[in-house]
Every structure is written in structure tokens, then in C-alpha cells.
Amino acid sequence: MSIAENVARIRAEIAQAAIAAGRDPKEIQLCAATKMNDADAVRQAIQAGVDCCGENRVQELTAKLAENAYEDAPVHFIGHLQTNKVKQVVGKVDLIQSVDSERLLLAIDREARKQGIIQNILLEVNIGEEASKSGFGVDDILPVVEKAGNFPNICIKGLMAIPPIQHFDGENLKFFQKMYQLSVDIKKKIDDNVMVDCLSMGMSGDFPDAIRCGSTMIRVGTAIFGARDYARIHQG
């Protein structure tokens, strides 16, 4: 199947899951997770109507920006970002979805101030409490949001999570529900002028469940582009 056919199928599945949950399909953005796919594939996805592209690695982001791969589509950063690389990402992307520490918040704020911009971000939650994954703990989120004033050049738009790899359908529902509850709790406790409306969760294998639980942004790679060729990338 072509990228365009895949995107059309995913849109239909988004609509189905949204309507089943009593939601408007328009509430859910489709972010193409473009890692390991070249500029041509990225352009095909944009032409097929994805809402934005998400890049994982700074090097790939930089290379594809130079190729004008994203054209006018919004670009997000969705991978682990090292503080020494913020300069290559801040101001280059519309949203950094994967802010996973206060140290990184500080580094992004400093770079955004230097550039005279406000950088939009999401806070990444390590919802499965996995040692192998980065992200804030569930209990860290409210204190960080309350400290948002310490980061005047950052705008926190919401939360993002990458739950554990599923072994069976529905296994991650409990994590998606926990994320939704966390976002509702945060909204109740903070000022009205802080918007944390974005809830980025759900990937190729589990996005209908994430939508049922309130996701507003799904990040889909394999279902759009096919399986990634890891061997090719590791050989450089």
C-alpha cells in the first residue's frame, strides 16, 4: 500500500475510534513519526494530509530541514533531546514533545530567550515507570507545571507519553487512562492561563485505544511508512 493509502486508512480508523468514544475526529491530530524515512517519503505523507511530522534524532531533523523535506507542515521533535543539542532544535520546530527533565527545560528556556522566542513544549511522562525510558514521574508533573513561571520562554502545551511495548491488544489502556486522568487533574489545579490541552499518546499498534482514552495527538510511523529498516541505518 502507498503512503497516501495508509494515511487514508489511518484517518478512517481515527474517525471510527473517535466516534465510538463520542468524540469529534477533528480533535485528534495525526503526527507522522518520520524517523528513518527520507525526504521523499516525508513529502508524500504531508501531501496525504498528515497534520505534522515528528522527528526523533537531531541529525535527521537538521538534514531534512536542509532538504526542505517538511515544506510548510509543522515539525515536532519527539525523541530524547540532550541539553547540548537544544540549539539545533529550539526555534527550528513548532513543538518539542519530549521534554523529560528540569535540566532540559532550563536549557530550552535559555536558548529560546537567546533567540527571542517562546518555544512550545510537552512534558514527557514515564507512565510505565520503566527504567529504560526517560520522562517525568506522574507525581513530578504538577510541581513542574506550577513552576512554569520560572521558564518564561517556554509554553507548556500538554503531556506526552510512550507507554511500554504491548504484548497483547488493550494492554496499554490502563496507561492511557492514567495519562488522561493526570491531564484532567492538572487542568483542575492550575490557572486558566496555562493551557495543557495537548495529550500526545498512541502509536501504530495502539492508537485506537489512546483515542478512546482522550488522546489529542497520535504519533504514527510504521502504519504510514511500513517497517523501518534498522539494518540500513546502523550501517550508516
Site residues for ligand PLP per CB under 6 A: 33, 35, 56, 78-79, 162, 203-205, 219-223
Residue nearest to ligand PLP (CB): 221
Rounded least distance, CB 54 to ligand PLP, Å: 6
Rounded least distance, CB 22 to ligand PLP, Å: 25
CB closer to ligand PLP, 76 vs 148: 76
CB closer to ligand PLP, 39 vs 118: 39
- Partners of 120 in the β-ladder: 155
Count CB neighbours of 145 within 10 A: 18
Question: What 3-state class would DSSP assign to 194?
Answer: coil
CB closer to ligand PLP, 73 vs 78: 78
Per-residue exposure over 80-95, b if at least 16 CB sit within 10 Å of its own CB, e if not:
bbeeebbbbbbebbeb
Rounded least distance, CB 41 to ligand PLP, Å: 13
CB closer to ligand PLP, 127 vs 203: 203
For residue 195, which amino acid is it? M
Spatial separation of the C-alpha atoms in residues 207 and 201, rounded to whole Å: 7
CB closer to ligand PLP, 35 vs 43: 35
Rounded least distance, CB 6 to ligand PLP, Å: 11
Rounded least distance, CB 110 to ligand PLP, Å: 24
Query: DSSP readout, 41-93?
Result: HHHHHHHTT-SEEEE--HHHHHHHHHTTTTTTS-EEE-S---GGGGGGTTTTS
Handedness of CA 182, 13, 71, 39 (dihedral sign): positive
CB closer to ligand PLP, 196 vs 223: 223
Rounded least distance, CB 202 to ligand PLP, Å: 9
Rounded least distance, CB 32 to ligand PLP, Å: 9
CB closer to ligand PLP, 46 vs 78: 78
Spatial separation of the C-alpha atoms in residues 138 and 186, rounded to whole Å: 11
Q: How far is CA 224 from the centre of its chain?
A: 16
DSSP symbol at 26: G
- Yes or no: say if 223 and 10 are a contact pair by the CB < 8 Å rule: yes
